[in-house]
Structure 1
């Protein structure tokens, strides 16, 4: 019996040393809910799961298997298909997202049960857009989502994913957290999915193990404190701060909750969960703030930590904002533009250089405030440019839920034709109309083409076309 135990310990040690960075497992021994053997086995013998989240605004027939327990639109897939060659993916009918991350949807629904008036929501560290599209799915058109990405090179993928999602109540910004200091008490809900040491992604991305160290964990902790301190004034009194990481380390998780409650007197919000979900509910050591840990082997997902806190004090208002008047727009042009938008009177129209844009009317003042203080990369939906009495439509308009489809031609494509279109190849199709046409697959728009008597000009954006071979 002693020999068997000795051999088992040797086997576990060999497995641990082969897989994980030095001292990683030892650093987790006292973390809440950590089961070393279960954790190692999950990483050694189980592949990372594939899961998608359906876009509730673009209903489509998509084959799924098991539902993600904490997200009504989330589903696991038994096999991983080639998403690149699925036109519905490019149309924004779903988003490929790790299942544990979808817990933010459950937190949002818990918050919204207590806060049913329109809200302004900030996703501070938003790229590539998984949590932004998730937040957006939980919001109504009267709510506003601001998706911010600090790193400039990551803004395009965030913008592309939000364009695919199709809603017009979204603003994308490219700012450092400290830039939000000038808009005190603006947001009702702030999500900080903080940069972290990444240990929760080891199974999904083994290369992340090369980046892990105890020193890096401590550096991440310091960065997280700075980010949270910078964004704190922008949250309203009685507003909610959702904090999450893909790390297992208490320095980046429970210790941060304690720091927030001590430094800013935030109040912990307990999120209801079911035992069968396998989520480990924790309390921070000092302030007893509620946190939620996800361990592979216990949940059907990767590593995640999340917590929710309520702000109890005010940071003051927007004392330094002045409205400098509204843009004067040519009425004739505006009437031409309005024809392309459903329920046009519900939108505020404006121009940036030669481009016409629209955002839900109730967000007009918010847009003006944010434009004064932040660097905006996307606002509402970009409609296009006018050339005489004709619109040169933008790709954003094609994917937008706001488009008036009665105002444009529509050309349905089968899957082979849709892939040709998404490659910007010549499309093997009989031309039945003339002019700008939405190219659609199973009723969902993919983008624009211009139909001419003897050819089709493909206007799918070059920078996002399919480059790989099937």
Structure 2
């Protein structure tokens, strides 16, 4: 990459940024390829051939080469997420600030495609609730799919504008705002992003970031934490935003412990001396990132007390059929959306009902399936969930080639004595459902998720 290919004024503006090394930065973009990193799913341990660990994330690993993830059944099973290493630092912040002995509600405000949501989810207990929100409607499905693969029941996916969260004042203990930005931190990984960069766009992003933060601020409870991040190097979108936050609101900057060997540049904002953390590709094995954490000292008000006297009445016989498919069934609250049975960790029942009153919810917990007579027609989410009682269902192990055929939603010819609904597995990990009949196998892998490409 030629230095001249950077946008006009871009490098000149960066020379004043903390920790910036012009020669090293240009060299990293010209001569170093973006590293490939993955983060394993702690709820679905399966990866044994682990490479170099990402220093700030115990579940993160660098790969020597970039494989075809599309043709890895364990990727589709949700055993790992392909995530840029620098962004895994959000998990390090979360692990530092989260309380050890009390349940918390966490909001990932700008969540799609779901990398940081699955990262957060890995750090939470079942008593904790994650609300993953995506503002843009067309990006919600990929967010929901990635959380489905992760497999837990303590998640809710919403599709709301930040201002809508004004309705749930003080509901969240931690809010992550991974804000829309000018994207300069992704220049090496996505050179086309340079065509979108301009000083005017940086200014526009700064204004948008202020609006988003101001809109969602009331939803953070007193003594709660705001994590702010961008994939931009621009001072206006990073340290200047921290100064604005501290001046506009009653927030205290939190210093996050880091190891010098990690290569992360610790900064302080010009006015309020708020701590921030910069990632440069010549100093860390990752792409550009800025992250910071602040603690809210004031009180924006509380939610009115909520009593739901209209609990959904569900058919007891159906409910017993559903519970048979669930591990530790007493741990969950069951409800129906149209004809579909759903389950969420029981301690989140009231939170779900509160959020249903105030927000547009796209997914809650795990979809289990529909009861048709004496049979449960199982949902794909149930197959990928960690709450499924695998002892209650047939399981059919697949070879690699069979697993790829299944993931392409093609016909399978198997030598099996199984009959009826079967969980199709690869290397012990569930991929989805098929119905095995005497003369054929019906593949129920979701059409919208099937592999469409051909292996090189």
1:184-223 alignment runs, 5 A limit: 184-223=169-208
**What does residue 320 of structure 2 align with?**
335
1:252-401 correspondence to structure 2 within 5 Å: 252-319=237-304, 321=306, 323-401=308-386
Distance 1:141 1:449 in 2: 29
Q: Which segment drifts farther, 58-67 or 242-251?
A: 58-67
Task: Map 1:54-453; keep pairs closer than 5 Å.
Answer: 54-112=40-98, 114-319=99-304, 321=306, 323-453=308-438
- Alignment match, 1:3: none
Say which of 448, 452, 456 aligns to 1:467.
Answer: 452
The residue aligned with 1:15 is: 2
CA shift for structure 1 position 239: 0.3
Whether the 8 Å CA contact 1:431–1:453 is kept in 2: the answer is no
Distance of 1:395 and 1:378 partners within structure 2 = 13
The answer to whether structure 1 residue 34 and structure 2 residue 4 are counterparts is no
Kindly state the Cα deviation for residue 317 of structure 1 after the two structures are TM-superposed. Answer: 0.9
Runs of 4+ aligned structure 1 residues displaced above 4 Å come to none
Inter-CA distance 62–85: structure 2 relative to 1 (3 Å threshold): farther
Instruction: Supply the distance in 1 between the matched residues of 2:6 and 2:397 (Cα, whole angstroms).
Output: 50
| 1:45-60 alignment, distance < 5 Å | 45-60=31-46
Q: Return the alpha-carbon distance in structure 2 between the equivalents of residues 217 and 157 of structure 1.
A: 27
Q: Deviations over 1:362-387 (max 9, x none)?
A: 00000000000001011000000010
Residue 7 of structure 1 aligns with which residue? none
Give unpaired runs (5+ residues) of structure 1. 1-13
Shift of 1:98: 0.1
Query: Is the CA contact (8 Å cut-off) linking 2:106 and 2:130 kept in structure 1?
Result: yes
For residues 340-397 of structure 1, give each alpha carbon's deviation from its aligned partner in whole angstroms, at most 9, with x where no partner exists: 1111011000000000000000000000000000010110000000101110000000
Query: Retained in 1: the 8 A contact 2:133–2:160?
Result: yes
Match of 1:6 in 2: none
Give the SS at the match of 2:111.
coil
Q: Distance in 2 between the 1:167 and 1:32 partners?
A: 40
- C-alpha distance after superposition, 1:247-304 (max 9, x if no partner): 0001000000111111002000000001100000000011100000000010000000
Deviations 1:317-352 (A, max 9, x none): 112855342101111111111101111011000000
Q: CA RMSD in A?
A: 1.0
* Inter-partner Cα distance in structure 2 for 1:428 and 1:224: 53
TM (normalized to structure 2)?
A: 0.99
SS at match of 2:232: coil
C-alpha deviation, 1:431, in angstroms: 2.7
**In 2 relative to 1, CA 320–347 (structure 1 residues): closer, same or farther, beyond 3 Å?**
closer
Asked if the contact 1:294/1:305 (under 8 Å) is kept, the reply is yes
Rounded Cα–Cα distance in structure 1 between residues aligned with 2:371 and 2:171: 35
User: In the aligned structure 1, how far is the partner of 2:414 from the partner of 2:27?
Assistant: 52
Q: Quick one: distance in 1 between partners of 2:100 and 2:326?
A: 30
**Which secondary structure state, in structure 1, belongs to the residue aligned with residue 177 of structure 2?**
strand
Mapped contact 1:357–1:382 kept (Cα < 8 A)? yes
Q: Matched residues in 2 for 1:430 and 1:216: separation?
A: 59
The answer (yes or no) to whether the contact 1:293–1:306 under 8 Å persists in 2 is: yes
Deviation at 1:432, TM superposition (A): 1.5
Q: Tell me which residue corresponds to 1:9.
A: none
**Kept in 1: contact 2:222–2:298 (CA 8 A):** yes
**CA 1:224/1:320 → structure 2, altered by over 3 Å: closer, same or farther?**
farther
- Unaligned ranges ≥5, structure 2: none
Greater displacement, 59-68 / 236-245? 59-68
SS of the residue 1:66 aligns to: coil
For the Cα contact (< 8 Å) 2:47–2:79, is it kept in 1?
no
Count of aligned positions: 455
Tell me the TM-score normalised to structure 1 length. 0.96
